[in-house]
A and B are shown apart, each in its own frame.
Chain A
Amino acid sequence: MTAPDRIVAKEGIAAREAARPAGAAAAASCRRREGGLIDRSRSLSFSFDGKAFAGHPGDTLASALLANGVRLLGRSFKYHRPRGVLTAGSEEPNALVELRGGARREPNTRATVVELYDGLEAASQNRWPSLRFDLAGAGDLLSPLLTAGFYYKTFMWPAAFWEKVYEPLIRRAAGLGRLSGAPDPDSYEKSYAFCDVLVIGAGPAGLMAALTAGRAGARVILADEDFRVGGRLLAETHEVGGRPGPLWADDVLAELAGLDNVRCLPRTTVYGVYDGGTYGALERVADHLPVPPPGRPRQRLWKIVARRAVLAAGATERPIAFGDNDRPGILLAGAQRSYLNRFGVLTGSRTAVFTCSDDGWRSAADLVRAGAEVAAVIDTRPDARCPDGLTGLEDVALIAGGRVVETRGRLGLTSIDCLDRDGRRRSLAVDGLAVSGGWNPALHLTCHQGARPVWRDDLATFLPADDLPPGLAVAGAAAGGFSTAAALAQGAERGAAAAEAAGHAVRKPEPPEAEDGPVAVTPFWHVKESRARAWLDFQNDVTVKDVALAHREGFRSVEHLKRYTTLGMATDQGKTANVQALAIMAELTGKSIPETGTTVFRPPYTPVAISAFAGRSRGKDFRPVRKTPSHDWAVEQGAVFVETGAWLRAQWFPRPGETHWRQSVDREVLAVRNAVGVCDVTTLGKIDIQGADAGAFLNRVYANGFAKLPLGKVRYGLMLREDGFVMDDGTTARLGEAHYVMTTTTAKAVPVFRHLEFCRQVLWPGLDLQLISTTEQWAQFAVAGPRARDLLREIVDPDHDISNQAFPYMACGEVTVCGGTRARLFRLSFSGELAYEVAVPARYGDAMIRALMAAGAAFEVTPYGTEALGVLRIEKGHPAGNELNGQTTAANLGMGRMVSKKKDCIGNVLSERPGLNAPDDLRLVGFVPLDRRAQLTAGAHFIALGRAAVAAEDQGYMTSVAHSPNLGHSIGLGLIQRGGERIGEKVRAVDLVRGADVEVEIVSPHFIDPEGERLRA
């Protein structure tokens, strides 16, 4: 059928229009009595801006509002223009609403994808005082001042105004929805999935791909963002294999649901493609319910690992830019058909179609079939005619070579002005306009690994490039296969190829019959005759003139255009704007579209809430908690806990009457110095080292000598990084000929183990040694104080002699405790007192702390926490985390002589660097305030007396401070230039952050028992 005269531009249009009353009918949009994929037998109530409405299961919020005659849904971002619904999908730039109330309020949700549920509450955004009377809409009158680059040009001077004036002003005027400000009461979770074939999109191509791969036995996941499968089939009137499209889709879904190897994920958007066949997907588990069912998350973030994937995401329709093309009532033609065919909603009582392709004509045909009035088809092609296969359009007026130049209607469309081929202007009273500028394949995911789409002149669109992400194939409209038959065939073929690649034998399927119309589009980007603003990016209020301005001012590359005009930004990422803007820029520069370029797309395809990425890792579940073996006992004692990494450790144990933490800590410290204290030190890393070369290995990873550590002895070990700085310190005990146990600091347990494995496997693979962590195996307690031995004699079974002679300082051994429980005993001291560490298998840890406390009652045993531990070690001058801060060397810490020059060890060579051995280098010393009442602060910097507190005068810094209950005043450890030579000198400790400036004296870092007599007692 090629007769161009089947449809004739009626000379009578003008007369017919003249006869119509001005303005549109009362309800511009409404629900039809029948048709569509909604369940009219059930009614769902909902509200919008406080007003009650009803819809049906199967509706979106947008379709239900349109069914109720509500076309005005929001105000635009910058100019507060009245806006309605442009699309029927996730690409929607306009119809953003706040959904739900209270703590569940969610801004910027697209009404076009919000599945209607009973009790849904929604509100319009960015308007005050109301949607219909928005005062900020006056900003629209100032629009000549608010063009592209407006922010950059206007809010420049004075700089003092940036934060205080300009930003609040802009934020108030321009904006989208409001966050609730309350914690989200719902939960979000993550899930992992693996498959042979991931099919993205459940339109004709995706369904066919999933069916083909599924029948072949491949593990298939079919994900679609919609709540109903079928894709474009739901919006059109196409048949597939003689069945109405939606029913065919249901049939396929039913078959897929019966296959064990296929998993269908509706309401799931695959938002990103990552390396190695990993895909991110967001499943909206309970967004279609008022409140998630107990235990269920609102949303689920899937990490899907797929050997192959088929992208069948369909295509997005392009608008055409013309004067005031943003009024409510102007929809994309495909969207208008979606509302008509899927939701049974007429988006206008009298509709015109503006198209540059055959596809737009479908709107006219569907409207006529539904009995609705079509005012005219305005086709930009001078030789336009009714496409083959469309019927019923005999009486529809055609304006061939026509353009819509202007529209009218304050809060919704009432009429349009168009030009015909000969430039004659005429007005049409319509309240609906369906616009089709051609289709853009939804190829976003193909760009996530860096591929750039390729322009195809014959289809007038960008297609996926050849260098797709590995394992990904594209089918259907996303690949330029726009007809239903092409989609089915490509889906079958890609599904078969994917299943075969995953090792499954596939029987070539015969795709069902379907329409196979050619793509007939003559691209048309914008109406040059329009004088009013012609909108390109509805969400960011970017017009054709803004692109022209960017061009004039030199922002011509695609990336510059985007940043200068904000085109393509925000929640829709320019899905309905980018290509047109690019084409207009190409026009302006006189280049072709491929020469002008394209923007590529990054994840996510559509917005993903931060909550979904966080998943369960929120609040107290942010990270796991590690509890020590004595945790429950410490809770019973009323201990105050502190997080050290993931560990919870007792910080101090308050006693009745103690009102300040210092009282508790001072008491605990004095108890250790005068009687005996017990502290859980299980958190220290423990590494079991066995093998013939274990000793040799230790001698290489520690800076000090370990080759001659005798059996039954412990030694302090200093570990350097290869660059000569200190990595960690700890002790290593020799329990057997070829058996050692190393301890690390709590913080460095994991990195030290990793380092040791590096040394073992990469540096010295020839050595015979085996490593395994035993941190969790042993509950370990420090027992410290002059009465420590007395206490342990009650615990250690009597056949083990722990006298000072038999078990001297730095002895270790395997013993039994409490009547036969095996244990390890180490005579180690961090406090400087007579002290031991006793380790029992962790199952006995709880019982052990109770036994120590019971046995110690006679010796006034006191449990102490990490604060007292810190005070004790500062009093003794032992470096810890504050000193081993990654910037200190052994020399800095006064342990330079420990670094053996006689052997190769990690860090030995570079610790000799001149820069690390400067004569005026930092040395660890002690500090006391001249005024004993003054408090020292860690982080204070040392300045010579009488000098200014400036960086140039900096001599070092305080690393650790404590109140010493033994000395009765504040003490500190710190690193100061030539510290060891300056004992007795006075300097200032200046802390500009806390406003402290204290005169201090440099002293020995060993405040208590410098000769070490106590620990050898």
Chain B
Amino acid sequence: MPDFTLAARSPLAGAAALAESWPGFAVSEVTDLALASLATRRGRETEVRNRAKARFDLEPPPPGRTASGDGMTFLWTGHEQWFVEAQESALGGLEALLRETFEDSAAVTDQSDAWANLRLEGPATRAVLEKLCPLDLHPGAFPPGATARTTMEHLSAIITLRDDRWRFSILTPRSSAGSFLHHLHQAADSACGAT
């Protein structure tokens, strides 16, 4: 039988815009994180929290927040729903690990391939994002560890502040990630000057 082994391809593989950088701003694609959604089954709220605590030593975060522990980061995405991130290598299947952890107390769905994961960083990041993001990203309103789902240029986006300065990440749907990156590129040119 011939070998048809499938090679993986990230959502923005080969995108020219990823090779550029601007004074005070850079964007890169994160390709080594697995992602799965976790949604509490009806009436199992306490159990989900206990299992998360026991296995990952973290409390599933409240609305608008992230929480990290034991190689896992939980991003709040909806009522009793989180996106869980983990290093691809730590994986053996994040979906399987979460299923095993939460059993039937929560619904787990692989989202690793559904989103492009962009890292935005640099002191000009907020100046770039104010052209795209309809949320207040001032540190007072969007502190470190904050996360929010919104739309940017008609596209769904989950934005998270990853450190205490200006390192953000944005998850945006895979199929339209090229359009998103194009808009990000234009915003960066406008905020930081075209190269």
Contacts and interface: CB of A to CB of B under 8 A. Distances in A.
Contacts of A895: none
Given A189-B131, A193-B130, A690-B109, A295 B194 contact: yes
Interface in B87-142: 104, 107, 109-115, 130-131, 133-136, 138, 140-141
Interface centre among B41, B153, B174 (most CB of A within 10 A): B174
A139 interface: no
A96 B170 CA distance: 46
Contacts of B194: 293-296
B134 A770 contact: no
Interface centre among B4, B6, B37, B178 (most CB of A within 10 A): B6
Nearest to B192: A295
A624 B154 contact: yes
A621 B154 CA distance: 11
Contacts of B155: 624
B27 to A, nearest CB: 15
A768 B8 contact: no
B130 A646 contact: no
A303 interface: yes
A688 B173 contact: no
Given A189-B131, A193-B130, A776-B174, A295 B1 contact: no
Nearest to A690: B107
Given A189-B186, A303-B134, A774-B114, A768 B42 contact: yes
Interface in B53-107: 81, 104, 107
A621 B133 contact: no
B39 A772 contact: yes
Contacts of A817: 4, 6
A777 interface: yes
B51 interface: no
Contacts of B193: 293-296
B3 interface: yes
B7 interface: yes
A767 B109 CA distance: 19
Interface residues on chain A, size class: 35 or more
Contacts of A768: 41-43
A190 B132 CA distance: 8
Given A295-B190, A777-B110, A778-B113, A628 B39 contact: no
Nearest to A194: B136
- Looking at chain A's contact residues, is the secondary structure mostly helix, strand, loop, or mixed? mixed
Interface centre among A297, A303, A688, A693 (most CB of B within 10 A): A688
Interface string B1-39: 111111111110000000000000000000000000101
A821 B93 CA distance: 12
A843 B113 contact: yes
Contacts of B111: 772, 774, 777
A844 B179 contact: no
- Looking at chain B's contact residues, is the secondary structure mostly helix, strand, loop, or mixed? loop
Given A770-B81, A841-B112, A738 B104 contact: yes
Interface stretch (A584-592, A845-853, A951-959): A845-853
A189 B190 contact: yes
Contacts of B39: 690, 770, 772
A691 interface: yes
Interface in A707-750: 738
Nearest to A739: B107
A191 B176 contact: no
Contacts of B173: 626, 776
A844 B104 contact: no
A625 B37 contact: no
A662 interface: no
Nearest to A847: B6
Interface in A841-872: 841-848, 851, 854-855
B137 to A, nearest CB: 9
Interface residues on chain B, size class: 35 or more
B138 A626 contact: no
B180 interface: yes
Contacts of A626: 173, 175-176, 179
A740 B61 CA distance: 28
Contacts of A843: 8-10, 112-113
Interface in A741-764: none
A818 interface: yes
A483 interface: no
Given A295-B189, A625-B179, A776-B173, A841 B4 contact: no
Given A190-B131, A294-B189, A851 B178 contact: no
Contacts of B11: 842
B49 interface: no
A693 B187 CA distance: 46
Nearest to B78: A772
A794 interface: yes
Contacts of A688: 107, 109
A840 interface: yes
Contacts of A767: 42
A455 interface: no
A305 interface: yes
B165 interface: no
Contact of A691 (B42, B138, B180): B42
B85 to A, nearest CB: 15
Contact of B107 (A293, A770, A821): A770
B162 interface: no
A818 B6 CA distance: 7
A646 B154 CA distance: 11
A821 B3 CA distance: 12
Interface in B141-195: 141, 153-155, 173-176, 178-180, 182-183, 186-187, 189-190, 192-194
A876 interface: no
B6 A821 contact: yes
Contacts of B4: 794-795, 817-819, 851, 854-855
Contacts of A303: 134
A616 interface: yes
A219 B138 contact: yes
Contacts of A625: 176, 178-179
Contacts of B136: 194, 305
Interface string A186-209: 010111111000000000000000
Nearest to A682: B175
A380 B138 CA distance: 56
Interface string A243-284: 000000000000000000000000000000000000000000
Given A768-B43, A777-B111, A819-B4, 15 more contacts: A189-B187, A190-B131, A192-B130, A219-B140, A296-B194, A626-B176, A627-B178, A646-B176, A693-B42, A772-B109, A821-B6, A841-B112, A841-B113, A842-B114, A847-B8
23 contacts: A187-B190, A192-B133, A194-B136, A194-B138, A219-B138, A296-B189, A616-B186, A624-B179, A690-B39, A693-B42, A767-B42, A776-B173, A776-B175, A777-B109, A777-B110, A818-B4, A841-B113, A843-B8, A843-B10, A843-B113, A844-B9, A851-B6, A855-B2
The 10 closest A-B pairs by CB, nearest first: A295-B194, A295-B189, A768-B42, A690-B107, A624-B179, A776-B114, A842-B113, A194-B136, A294-B194, A770-B39
